[in-house]
A and B are shown apart, each in its own frame.
Chain A
């Protein structure tokens, strides 16, 4: 049992960047735009967040810088796709490739620098045996991501703005004819997505590792993209999926240390295998996906035609 608490704690820690990024991408996609640049945005935010923290000494400022750098890249993406009508998939891929190169270049001088990892905890709660270690000694950003998840559920289902956002994703031309500015709403959604990916990237370099090294996001941006589909565009399922993916990775290490005779390579494969499996299962019941999938996902909208 003693091994269970750190396992849970690590799984939550590993799942948090996935959840942050996936929640942002979910909002993007609810507005009808798919941004494949998440990996690139996370990388740039990771290095900028790290550099800013190193110079300013404040992790909070680092997170802010990470979020802003994600928003800048997302804003650029929005200009290209929403205003100039560039292909979303191609632009997103370009953004990811650009982010990988740019972050490596910016980060040359920060390789090998490290931040002091802090100790966090919620007073009283952290002293509960087992649960305290498992749940209440995490970085504040972990709890923020949970609040964010709840806020997004409320926003999408209970607010007028959420309804408008979903309308834009379902049928931009109807929303347009009702007098909503589709391009601005999509810009806002993309900026929010950029900020979330930025926070996720900064979480990687400030809390998870905590250090900067080239390509440290290591595919988590792509996993976050898969996660939105895996969760069939439902925030609560994003939360479950993120912890599940985080948990599988951590479980592989614990099983190895316990001497379970299973090839580590096989275990490394599991998160991806799980994604494919769940996708297959969901696809068997097409209505699950169709009900939630924004109808105009990936399609550009030009209000002047």
Chain B
């Protein structure tokens, strides 16, 4: 019985260490995950709009692979164009349900609130095309 109790203590200690280590590492690594352009954009807007800063994190984790960190994206039309011509509701719908043949649905990964946060972030970004002119 004594061996079992000692084994239980060892098991709990090792388990907590492994999980705690992984979650701690995840927290540290994740804070450095955001790609530079997104992070700089997030930092510049965080003081004015904290919700947009949360959206920047969601964007880096879910959207930046296709839409790239500078938010001009390799997909057409660019996100700047989309925010000009689409309503918040339609952008949220596209995020959650996807666009057939063009963009995957994120409805299983993100909820309504996440989609709204992403819209806030995308709308808070400066228009890159203006900088190019």
Do A and B belong to a common assembly? no
Residues of A near any B CB (own CB < 8 A): none
Residues of B near any A CB (own CB < 8 A): none
